[in-house]
Every structure is written in structure tokens, then in C-alpha cells.
Amino acid sequence: MYKVAVVQFEPILFDTEYNLNTILSYIGQADTDLIVFPELATSGYVFDTVDEVATVAESVPDGRCFIAIIEAAQKYNCSVVYGFVEQVGSTFYNSSVLINPDGTYHVYRKVHLFDREKLFFEPGNKGFFVSEAKHGVRVGMMICFDWQFPEAARSLALQNAQIICHPSNLVLPWCQQAMTTRALENRVFCITANRLGTETNGSTTLHFTGQSQILNTTGEVLCRLSVDKPELSIVEIDPTVADVKDINLRNNLFADRRPNSYIKK
């Protein structure tokens, strides 16, 4: 069995020290194989200017938070996924990274930007891909609003993802329910780590919906956290269950696809 953990908390805007220490403290107490944190967990979310984004951005692998978290992943022998502002030259991405205890890491850049994110970030340029986490478990990442596009989770499933890690800062009310369908229609485990609280900057105020969750491959809720409390939950799963795409003797989720009948636009 494989222990997976989901964490929700309220990052403080611009307070990378507090946010990093919170993340490190959860990694230290979790005793798990894989732990997933929210989108932009090191920085907060409601930016007003690109200059503000620049103050909390970091590059990989030389960023301060990245170095501290990779040390923790090694010390506590777990894979970690968290969201952060990634800087590449003068470009910023809303990114997440999978860090493994053996020191390997993989950065995903959010493809589907939500609302004002389009003012600050470039859309991800690496597409959806699957990487190995601890014990060779196959993990794909998508970030928050990517949930709205079934192609995101499907792209990961078609590359044989066993677990979709989904760091989020959700403001719309539908994602937690929609992800049960993403899990079922792809027969993959899904871990949505959502942040909490209300954040205001300039004239923008956003409220985030909590209810982080871990779903099995038929969309059942293995754990769902509260609306408003910082929490960690750990669930034991068998990731190989996601390799079984048979629905019955005559139907297989992938073999029965008919791509020639689908519209390609």
C-alpha cells in the first residue's frame, strides 16, 4: 500500500517565510509516501501587479523554497507536490513541482490560466506529462482551473498516470464534485489540495473553498477536509488499481475509445 496525504492551509500573501515553514512542518509530521499542497502555496494568490509577482517568484533548482523542500523530501523520505510562482528569465509561470526523495524533480506549468492570472503569468508551455514519484508510482500534475477542461486529466490518464495531483486555489463551487467525474472517467486516483481563507489585495477579494479531497478510481471520496480549517489527511491506496481500465468483460476504458469519431478542433 502507498500512503498519500493532502494538506490544506491558508498561505499568507507575500509571506514566503511563514508559508515555507508551514509546508515544512506538515512534511515533518505526515509520515507518508506522497504529500500534496495547494497552488501558489509559497506565495499566496491575489496579486495586483507583475512587480508583486516578481517579489515572490523563484527559479528551480536554485530557489530558496525549492532547496528547503527538497531537503525535507529527502529527510522524511517522501515525494512532495506544491504550487509556486516560477520565474524563467523575465517570464512567470503558475507552476507546481513534484520533488522526490532521491533528488529528482519535475515542474508542471499551469496550462489553463484563470481570470486575472492572465495578467501576470504565461500559459504553461510544457503540456501535461507523467513522472515517477517515490516507489515508481506514476504521477501527473494539473493545477486548479485545469479541472474545467476534461482534456487535462484525460491527457494524464492516456500517459498512464496512476495518481493526479491537483494543487488548487479554488474560488468556483463546482470543482470538488467535477473531480469525482474526472477520477471515474479516467479510472485514476485524484488528490485535490485546496487552500483556505479570504485574500484581499487592491480592489480584489477572493474567498477559497477548502474541502480538499482524495478520490479513488471510481470517484469515491476517500477523504474530504473541512471548508475552513487547516488540516492534513492521509489515506492508504493501491496505485496499481488505476492500471485496470476494464469496465466489464467487453468494455475497456481505453480500448473502446473511438478517436476517429471525436471532433478535433
Give 106 or 195: the residue with its C-beta nearer to ligand ACM: 195
Q: Looking only at residues 101 through 140 of this chain, which bind ligand ACM when binding is defined by CB under 6 A?
A: 114
Q: Which of 7, 107, 144, 188 binds ligand ACM (CB under 6 A)?
A: 144
From candidates 10, 33, 39, 52, binder to ligand ACM by CB under 6 A: 39
Kindly give, in sequence order, each residue whose CB lies less than 8 Å from that of residue 71, ignoring residues fewer than 6 positions away.
none
From 47, 93, 145, 189, residue interacting with ligand ACM (rule: CB under 6 A): 145
Restricted to residues 240-259, the positions that interact with ligand ACM (CB under 6 A) are: none
Crossing angle, helix 64-75 and helix 16-30, to 10 degrees? 10
Q: Name the residues annotated as catalytic.
A: 39, 110, 144
User: Cβ 219 to ligand ACM, closest distance in Å?
Assistant: 21
Query: Among residues 121 and 189, whose Cβ is nearest to ligand ACM?
Result: 121
**How far lies 203's CA from each of 5, 48, 53, 217, in Å?**
35, 9, 16, 41
Residue 115 Cβ vs ligand ACM, minimum distance, rounded to whole Å: 7
Helices 175-186, 150-158: axis angle to 10 degrees equals 30
Site string for ligand ACM, 1-30 (x = CB under 6 A): ------------------------------
For β-strands 221-224 and 105-109, DSSP reports them as unpaired
- Residue 144: CB minimum distance to ligand ACM, A: 3
- Smallest distance, ligand ACM to C-beta of residue 66, A: 21
Task: Lay out the site mask for ligand ACM across 159-198 (x = CB under 6 A, - = otherwise).
Answer: ----------xxx---------------------------
Q: How far is the CB of 151 from ligand ACM (least distance, A)?
A: 16
Residue 167 or 239: the one with the smaller Cβ distance to ligand ACM is 167
Contacting positions for ligand ACM (CB under 6 A): 39, 114, 144-145, 169-171
